[in-house]
Amino acid sequence: MKISADISAFQTRLGHEFSQPELLLRALTHSSISSATRPDNQRLEFLGDRVLGLTMAEALFEKDKSASEGQLAPRFNALVRKETCADVARQIDLGAVLKLGRSEMMSGGRRKEALLADAMEAVIAAVYRDAGFDVAKALVRRLWGKRIDRVEDDARDAKTALQEWAQARGQKPPKYSEVARKGPDHAPIFTIEVTLESGEAERSEANSKRQAEQAAAKALLLKLEAKNG
């Protein structure tokens, strides 16, 4: 099967040359352009999620042999969550080769976090189907790279930590409010402010409310830590 130059370049960025390129093309096909003869990537996404999960569970199990299940679970969640998958997808410019319908393309689908994350999982499944688990596992561990080493810091849930900080000092839970929103509807940027009962506050912005809330909570925690030594 002959493949286009952009798909060939993507294989180079990915680090895997497919013996069955039709698997890669299916992994890159969004439901907005699928048809009876052109299946979308949803089934591969389902499989890729499991390949990714097993790979990361094994990596964490090997990395810290003394960690309890309670310590491993949040680290695992940080490595397999949609934001991380989308970040890896952006790292290899997966969005440039997504096969999208016109409406999805016009609404900025190549930059949408959910689409990138789902396609990343589908690509992992395509590699697994093309070359087996060991090859897929090696590819995932290479692409995730240093994220695995620094996962303990990334796994810290800043909103939970800030709420615990407030409760330990007899304060009500922190309040989060949207203070600004800018950008087009298909790629908004939210500014969120978090405020404690005692008056301390911080703001952060991101392309999702959840990320902005987490970033604001983390910024306030750092501020409080600096203030209190």
Residues marked active site are found at: 49, 121
Measure the CA–CA gap between 108 and 53, rounded to whole angstroms. 28
| Gyration radius from the chain CA atoms | 20
Closest by CA position to 183, among listed 158, 165, 208: 208
How many Cα atoms occupy the beta-carbon half-sphere of 169 within 13 Å? 12
Measure the CA–CA gap between 214 and 217, rounded to whole angstroms. 5
Measure the CA–CA gap between 103 and 106, rounded to whole angstroms. 5
How many Cα atoms occupy the beta-carbon half-sphere of 63 within 13 Å? 18
Neighbours of 110 (CB within 10 A): 18
Q: Using CB atoms within 10 A of its CB, is residue 106 exposed (0-12), middle (13-18) or buried (19+)? A: exposed
